[in-house]
Structures are given as structure tokens and as C-alpha cells.
Amino acid sequence: MTMNRRIFGSNLFPAVAVIALLALGGTGTAVAGNGADDFVRSIGQQAINSLTGKELSDDQRQAGFRAILKRNFELPLVARFTLGRFWRQASEPQRKEFVGLFEDYLVQIYAALFRDYNGESFTVGKVREINKSDVAVKSAVTLNDGQKIEIYWRVRGKDDPKIIDVIVEGVSMVITQRDEFSSIMNQSGGKLDGLLTALRKKTGKTPAL
């Protein structure tokens, strides 16, 4: 079984990203690029400061994670990409509702995982330019069982940098999410309404008026 299959099959994929965010706040080596490495590392420090306390309730942890997500990730762009061609077919009210549901969905998936951080080691490596807008920050997480996982953070912008994707062992989290959403919509006759209904159920939201 390949590393990618182990990651996805065991629900380790989202957990690895959370571990990386947390470990970024600790010690690690950094090779200076355009400041994107420091930006990514600062997100980890925010996570450690606001999400790891054992006294936090689920609501408090979700609120803290939402703040980090909105401040450091380009959520509208990521949401649009995860819809692919379905974005162009969506009405403006559908797009607005989807972006909100997508945010709620990510918060529910990731926030709870911060309770289980166990001090896994993390290193930050080189920053590589992808194009005029984006760079990739290389990093690696070593789990407590010795398994080493390579992670790239795709960062857009210099003055106001935002993360637009996380690539774990060569697999894009954004593309993976897009494939999952496409599958749901295809099962609903290619209709965005099918995905919106599924996300409402997952997040406990009522239909937008």
C-alpha cells in the first residue's frame, strides 16, 4: 500500500496538516525565502497559542480555528477551485451559500483534531517560486512512529500572503476536496443543490433564504 493510500484510508490526511500547523510553532530549521516560511511558521504559533488547551470546549476550539482559517487562507479562492466547472454554473446565491458552508465544513473537520497533538517533530525547508504570484514552502513532519511525511504549503502574495493549498506527499488537499465534491454532485445528477444539501446536513445549517 502506498503512502498516499495510507494517508487517505486512515483519515491521516487532515490530521497530518493539523500536526504540521502545530509543529510549525515549535523549533525547526528554516531556509529564508521571501518571508513565506516565516508566515507559515507563524500560523503554527497561532494554533499552539489558541487551540491546544485541554480546557477548551469544542465551540471555543472551533472559533479559534475559524479565526486562523479566515486570517491566513484564501478561502473564497479555495472554495471556488473545489467546485471546478460547477462554480461557473452556480447562481450568485448558491456561490455565497457554498463559500459559507465550505468554511463551516473545514472548521468541523479540522478543529477537533487539535486536541490530539503529541509533539511530533517538524522541519521547514526551502521556499521555491512557482510563478510570479505563488511560492511553495517545503516542510516535513516526522510522526511518533518514525514515519516521515513531506508537506508543501502553497502561498500566494507577498504583502498579504495567504495559503491556497497544502500538498501532502504530492497530493493536493484542494484537488482531493474537489474530487470528493464532484462525486457528490455527480450522484445528484450534476446539480450543485445535491452538494449544498450534503454540506447543510454535515454542518447542521438550514437552507439559505
109-149 pLDDT per residue, tens: 888 777 766 666 667 788 999 999 999 998 877 777 777 77
Tell whether 122 is covered by a domain.
Answer: yes
Domain presence at residue 208: no
C-alpha cell at 3: 503512502
Establish if 38 belongs to a structural domain.
yes
What is the rounded CA–CA span in Å between residue 74 and residue 102?
Answer: 12
- Model pTM? 0.81
- The amino acid sitting at 17 is A
- pLDDT for residue 96 is more than 50: yes
Nearest to 69 by CA among 100, 97, 106: 106
Placement of cell 457554498 in the chain: 98
Domain presence at residue 170:
yes
CATH of the domain at 8: 3.10.450.710
- In a domain? residue 209: no
User: Per the domain annotation, does 60 fall within a domain?
Assistant: yes
- Taking a C-beta distance cutoff of 8 angstroms, is the pair 164, 78 a contact? yes
Whether 46 is covered by a domain: the verdict is: yes
Choose the weakest-confidence range: 49-53, 78-82, 120-124, 188-192.
Answer: 120-124
Domain extent at residue 47: 3-203
> How many domains would you assign to the chain?
1
Average pLDDT, the chain: 80
Q: How far is it, in rounded angstroms, from Cα 161 to Cα 155?
A: 6
